[in-house]
Copies of this chain bind each other. A is one copy, B any other.
Amino acid sequence: MEVLFLNLKEVTNILKMDIALKAVEKAFYEKGMGRVIMPPKVYLFYEKYQGDIRVMPSYLPTYEISGVKVVNVHPNNPLKYKLPSVMATIILISPKNGAPLAILDGTAITNIRTGAAGGIATKYLARKNASTLSLIGAGVQAETQLLAIVRVRKIKQVKIYDINMKIAKKFQKKFEPQLKIPIIICSSIEECVKDADIISTQTPVREPIIKAEWIKPGAHINAIGADAPGKEELDWEILKKGKVYVDDWEQASHSGEINVPLEKGIIKKEDIKGEIGEVICGKIPGRETEEEITIFDSTGLGIQDLVCAYQVYKIAKKKKIGKKITLF
């Protein structure tokens, strides 16, 4: 039996943002329809090395595809090993017979599908005429948020803030010519988010850095950074006055933007409007007025990786990309 092996370069060449956006929208739709099998992520903690892995199995019966992503988080990697902090491997599995179909590097997929989630949330929740984007944190997640959001709204101006000004400058240099949109580097978070129609936060902070009074009426916020218990980026006031949507209730309540205020009783389950998938398939309303503030709490779902990996696999097979390896 043969399995198709696809490395980071091959995956990156195939998985353009347009493909990822469509794929992630489908995954969220399936989730909204209740047709997804996705047990909670399993964590293995390597305490001695201040790192962990997360194992994410999932199954989409509609598309007859299943898979497992294994992804690590080792913040010391860049300095200590010259390796990325986050690396991932995805095994695609046929639900029909359990055979592995493909093994893909999942590092690029992880980044792109996270951007695509922000893009899809923006598509369904931001004002139709939203035209200014604020990015807090200028790392790889900011890149994919930008690439996704410019595809769902006509963005005329981008502001960016990073604690490390050099990274923000590098970001500007890379994307201003590419997208032909002015990118303004800000020296404070307040300056960056003030007046923005769309805000995307992708930082590893563990306390709110975005204040409620800075957010203009009608804004949409993608809260991307929080992905573990204790992590949060937004002032609780924002969550209290805005309409909050999550990607997955279980995961978000445990490790998403809402986990801390929920645990402290600042907000309650009833304060969360629902899952983005429910908005997509029309079960619950999204934005209803031009003035309300909408928030998308993104924690990252195994099904996002799964649909993207499946798209990559199908295209690679058709175009004969990748290495076929004999398993047995």
CA distance A96 to B1 in the complex (A): 33
Are A45's CB and B53's CB within 8 A? no
Nearest residue, chain B, Cβ from A61: B48
- Check B73 against A98 for contact (C-beta < 8 Å): yes
Residue among A48, A95, A325 with the most chain B CB within 10 A? A95
Question: Does chain B have a CB within 8 A of A5?
Answer: yes
Q: Tell me, yes or no, whether A181 is within 8 Å of chain B by CB.
A: no
| A129 contacts chain B at the CB level, 8 A cutoff | no
Total copies of the chain: 2
Within residues 227 to 285 of chain A, which ones have a CB less than 8 A from any CB in chain B? none
| A55 B53 Cβ-Cβ under 8 A | no
Asked whether A97 is an interface residue with its Cβ less than 8 Å from the other chain, the reply is yes
Using A57-B42, A81-B97, A97-B80 as known contacts, say yes or no to A89 and B91 having CB atoms under 8 A apart.
yes
Q: Which of B5, B52, B57 contacts A55 (CB 8 A)?
A: B57
Which residues in window 38-56 of A have CB below 8 A to B? Answer: 39, 42-46, 48-49, 51-53, 55
Instruction: Give the residue name and chain of the B residue nearest to A326 (CB).
Output: B7
Chain A interface size band reads 35 or more
**Residue of B at shortest CB range from A56?**
B55
Contact check, B51 vs A98: say whether CB atoms are below 8 A apart: yes
Q: Within the complex, what minimum Cβ distance (angstroms) separates A43 from chain B?
A: 8
Closest to A100 in B: B89
* Complex interface: chain B residues within 8 A of A5 (CB): 5, 325
Once A37-B45, A44-B37, A55-B57 are accepted as A-B contacts, the answer to whether A7 and B97 lie under 8 Å apart by CB is no
Per the bound structure, the CA–CA distance linking A97 and B83 in Å amounts to 8
Q: Indicate if A116 sits at the interface (CB-CB under 8 A).
A: no
Chain B residue numbers with a CB within 8 Å of A70 are 57, 68, 91, 93, 100
15 A–B contacts from the bound complex (CB under 8 Å): A7-B326, A8-B328, A37-B44, A37-B45, A39-B43, A44-B59, A48-B95, A52-B98, A53-B98, A55-B57, A72-B99, A74-B96, A74-B97, A74-B98, A77-B97
